[in-house]
Amino acid sequence: MRAGASFLLVLIFATFTHAQENYRVGITCQKKRLEVERIRGDTKRKVEEKWGYAITIANQSFKDVPDVQVDYIIFYKTAIPGRVENATRDKRSSGTKPVGLLKNNTSFVCETDPIDLTTTQLNANRYYVTGAKAIAKDVITGVKVRVKSGDQVIGEFADPPGLKSSEKWN
């Protein structure tokens, strides 16, 4: 009786481990400025830019990977012109890009949705009465990427690397 139960347990475990495929992917991200618009006014100058990432997924598992999906989060800070305290707000932009079948030894490049970043600067001889800085600039602080095959996570990437543990997926 005992030998039969342990054999059944080994059979169930072997079936479960066989269902979980071991895929390997390489992930790289490159920040890209997509558009720039410069606006000049009487009291201040403004630069509005659209930024995004090109995410490259390379199949390194020596077999086709089915049902691939790329999830990403871009972290950025928006500056509030004219404010002394709490002059920035943390924001995030997330998205999902379906890839489908990723063939053996191939790469796939997908683009994130663009985010808007603004730089505002007072013209010469102008200042804020509150004592705030004359320039307020939005900045990208990082990106986090997760690659899945079905429901199985097969790769993660974060720049800077500390985002992997400090920021959670929604």
Domain 25-162 listed as CATH 2.60.40:
yes
Per-residue pLDDT of the chain (170 residues; tens, 9 = 90+): 445 444 333 333 333 333 457 899 999 999 999 999 999 988 889 999 999 999 999 999 889 999 999 999 999 999 988 877 767 889 999 999 999 999 999 999 999 999 999 999 888 888 787 878 888 899 999 999 999 999 999 999 999 988 888 888 76
What are the sequence ranges of the domains in the chain? 25-162
The structure tokens 């320039």 sit at 135
Termini Cα distance of the chain: 47
> Does the reported pTM lie above 0.85?
no
